[in-house]
């Protein structure tokens, strides 16, 4: 199993846990929390595969993703009081996850003959759509629209990955640099409270 596959599984677990924690904050029952955990983990990849015509979608081809996500949700329920204290660790896994999913989305789109700029959109979809669905179902404004530099980090990482690939840089080096770039951008944004400009009315 290569680095990207391991990071993919780690990111999937982090997203499943993230969705379950969001559901718990909204006092949803076991079924609701399980549903939110699943859509957070597989939402972005599902939309990407459907847009690319890659069916059946990745997570239904084998049982491994189903078991991984379900195990992460059960783990969250059992060890909730400990996990809630590990926000910084989950943040790191989540950031690695969006970096990995950005790369996977781009690579899949390029395999389907999609132009690089649109392939980057597919990478962005893989990384953030699950979170958008999670926040929408939990009746929150999606995180990427109002708070942290999140999608922007994926876009920058995607551009870096495409540039490195264009110049035939070693794929493992390209993957590592892309993920590190996304992590660094998010860390800087959090530490220095950076965000994109907001649209305000004339009265504000």
pLDDT at 92 over 90: no
- What does each C-alpha distance from 2 to 6, 8, 70, 151, 169 come to in angstroms? 6, 10, 23, 26, 18
Q: Please name the residue that has the structure tokens 């789109």.
A: 109
Nearest partner of 107 among 97, 95, 116, judged by Cα: 116
Residue 189: name the closest of 134, 152, 140, 145 by CA: 152
Q: Kindly tell me the sign of the dihedral angle through the C-alpha atoms of 119, 120, 126, 130.
A: negative
Residue 203 pLDDT class (50, 70, 90 cuts): low
Q: Residue 12: helix, strand or coil by DSSP?
A: helix
Write out 161-194 in H/E/C secondary structure. HHHHHHCCCCHHHHHHHHHHHHHHHHHHHHHCCC
Other Cβ atoms less than 10 A from the Cβ of 95: the count is 22
Helix, strand and coil percent figures for the chain, each rounded to 5 = 75, 0, 25
Q: What is the C-alpha separation between 50 and 110, in angstroms, rounded?
A: 15
Q: What is the DSSP string of 84-95?
A: TT-HHHHHHHHH
What distance in Å separates the CA atoms of residue 180 and residue 95, rounded to the nearest whole number? 9
Q: Tell me how long the chain is.
A: 204
pTM: 0.85
Q: Enter the tokens of residue 156.
A: 């920058």
List pLDDT tens digits, range 115-155: 999 999 999 999 999 989 999 999 988 877 765 678 889 99
Please state, for a pLDDT cut of 70, what percent of the chain lies above it: 93
The predicted pLDDT at position 82 comes to 86
* 29 compared with 85, residue with greater pLDDT: 29
How much is the pLDDT for 146?
66
Per-residue tokens: 124: 């962005």
Q: What is the mean pLDDT of residues 166-187?
A: 90
């Amino acid at each position: 199993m290569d680095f990207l596959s391991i990071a993919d599984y780690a990111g999937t677990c982090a997203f499943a846990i993230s969705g379950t924690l969001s559901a718990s904050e909204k006092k949803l029952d076991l079924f609701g929390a399980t549903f939110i955990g699943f859509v957070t983990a597989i939402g972005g990849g599902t939309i990407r595969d459907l847009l690319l015509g890659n069916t059946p979608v990745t997570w239904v081809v084998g049982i491994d993703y189903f078991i991984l996500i379900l195990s992460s949700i059960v783990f969250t329920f059992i060890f909730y009081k400990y996990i809630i204290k590990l926000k910084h660790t989950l943040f790191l896994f989540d950031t690695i996850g969006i970096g990995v999913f950005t790369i996977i989305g781009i690579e899949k789109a390029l395999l389907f003959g999609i132009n690089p700029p649109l392939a980057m959109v597919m990478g962005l979809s893989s990384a953030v759509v699950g979170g958008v669905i999670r926040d929408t179902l939990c009746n929150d404004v999606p995180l990427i629209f109002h708070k942290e530099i999140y999608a922007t980090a994926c876009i920058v990482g995607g551009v870096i990955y495409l540039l490195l690939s264009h110049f035939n840089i070693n794929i493992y080096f390209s993957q590592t640099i892309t993920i590190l770039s996304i992590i660094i951008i998010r860390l800087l944004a959090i530490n220095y409270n950076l965000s994109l400009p907001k649209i305000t009315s004339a009265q504000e």
